[in-house]
Amino acid sequence: MKKSIEKHAARFDEAASEYDDDSSEEYRACANLVIEHAAPDADEVVLDLGTGTGAIALALAPDAERVVGRDISEGMMEEAASKAADQGIDNVEFGHGTFREPEYDGTVSVVTSNFAMHHLSDEEKREAISVIGGLGPQRFVLGDVMFFGEPNPDEPFYSPEVDDPATVGFLADALTDAGFSLTAVERVHEQVGVLVAERGHSRDETDAQ
């Protein structure tokens, strides 16, 4: 992590009230794909890590039994909670938690994360993915800044001073090591993508169906 958790939290606290006004086409495409692939059933609990102002959590709540959002920025989560109240959504809860310590010990079927994990170093991402695997979800949908090819530091999707995106290959290996099978890779841009990882869904099983 190029900045401490406290510094990232302070940065997002400051940006929280304007965060929703400033989004790129690629961010929106990525968020939409995360929502589409998460597709929780009515009896499923979703855990959304790096939930921010609730873009993913609030979109999934009407379909899920419950959505739990975790983040390090109180300011971002205040925005999320206010939007939930405005929209009459009462099956979401937001609270402090990090990727590596989500502070959630209930059951979870689907874990989501959008545009947040790239703040961690690669080793921290590997640890976080292992923690997520340990929570026992059937599906983990990760949308983020990630490199499909050689990264161009002049591209707008990450700031080298604060962000630390991984390659798709690194993330795929970490997901596999955590017990997931990669079932879909969506390339939104050469630096933005969505990975869908599932459990108990090997290629052999898929081929046999």
Interface contacts to ligand SAM, rule CB under 6 A = 5, 8-9, 12, 31, 49-52, 55-56, 71-73, 76, 98-99, 114-116, 119-120
Nearer to ligand SAM, 13 or 65 (CB): 13
DSSP 118: G
Burial class (CB in 10 A: 0-12, 13-18, 19+), 43: exposed
At its nearest, how many Å lie between ligand SAM and the CB of residue 157? 11
Asked if 194 and 147 touch (Cβ cutoff 8 Å), the reply is: no
Nearer to ligand SAM, 73 or 109 (CB): 73
At its nearest, how many Å lie between ligand SAM and the CB of residue 134? 16
Among candidate residues 184, 187, 145, the one with its CA nearest the CA of residue 163: 145
At its nearest, how many Å lie between ligand SAM and the CB of residue 203? 30
At its nearest, how many Å lie between ligand SAM and the CB of residue 71? 5
Among candidate residues 146, 145, 90, 136, the one with its CA nearest the CA of residue 111: 136
**If you write DSSP's letter for every residue of 125-163 in order, what string do you get?**
HHHHHHHHHHT--SEEEEEEEEESSS--TTSTT--TTT-
At its nearest, how many Å lie between ligand SAM and the CB of residue 204? 34
Nearer to ligand SAM, 51 or 191 (CB): 51
Nearer to ligand SAM, 81 or 200 (CB): 81
Place of tokens 């790239």: 118
Nearer to ligand SAM, 38 or 197 (CB): 38
